[in-house]
């Protein structure tokens, strides 16, 4: 296990491939996010977090996977499930903009640089975090 300098506590760190648009950020009246399949918003291959966040993430991810499966929704990709979990649980996910990461030739592998060099601070990486806050979105 590697201790990273300034990863937010009790938060899952994920890679943004493309930002959510405003309407995707809006939850329905039951507090559920739309199942986004047409665009890849998050990279699912690499993510991080402390033990508590990983435990919470695992529980919520598999709950959402089962929910979508029971509704007959194709759940063969992890990114839509990850997006729904983040949007429905504000504060759980911290999203790194993959386009800000230097030394990356393919955005899908950008999180590897962040995790590999996590002894550097995010200031040294020159990264900002995006939060999955949906409180002020109207569509």
Q: What is the pLDDT of residues 6-27, one digit of tens each?
A: 677 788 988 888 888 888 888 8
Number of Cβ within a 10 Å radius of residue 136:
7
Higher pLDDT, 91 or 133: 91
Beta bridge partners of 131: 94
What is the model's pLDDT at position 99? 83
Give the distance, in angstroms, between the CA of residue 110 and the centroid of all CA atoms in the same chain.
13
Instruction: Say if residue 126's pLDDT is above 50.
Output: no
Residue ranges per structural domain of the chain? 12-131
Give the distance, in angstroms, between the CA of residue 27 and the centroid of all CA atoms in the same chain.
16
Cβ neighbors of 117 (< 8 A, separation 6 or more) are 125
Signed CA dihedral, 7, 75, 107, 88: sign only: negative
Higher pLDDT, 139 or 65: 65
Phi, psi torsion values for 4, nearest 5 degrees:
-95, 145
Measure the CA–CA gap between 82 and 76, rounded to whole angstroms. Answer: 12
Tokens 């937010």 locate to 8
* Average pLDDT, integer, range 41-52: 87
């Amino acid at each position: 296990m590697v201790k990273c300098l300034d990863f937010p506590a009790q938060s899952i760190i994920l890679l943004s491939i493309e930002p959510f648009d405003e309407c995707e950020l809006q939850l329905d009246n039951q507090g559920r996010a739309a199942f986004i399949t047409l665009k890849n918003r998050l990279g699912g291959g690499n993510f991080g977090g402390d033990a508590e966040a990983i435990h919470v993430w695992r529980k919520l991810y598999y709950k959402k996977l089962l929910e979508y499966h029971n509704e007959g929704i194709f759940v063969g990709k992890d990114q839509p499930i990850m997006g729904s979990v983040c949007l429905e649980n504000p504060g759980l996910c911290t999203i790194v903009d993959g386009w800000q990461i230097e030394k990356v030739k393919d955005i899908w592998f950008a999180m590897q640089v962040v995790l590999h060099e996590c002894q550097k601070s995010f200031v040294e990486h020159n990264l900002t975090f995006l939060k999955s806050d949906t409180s002020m979105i109207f569509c």
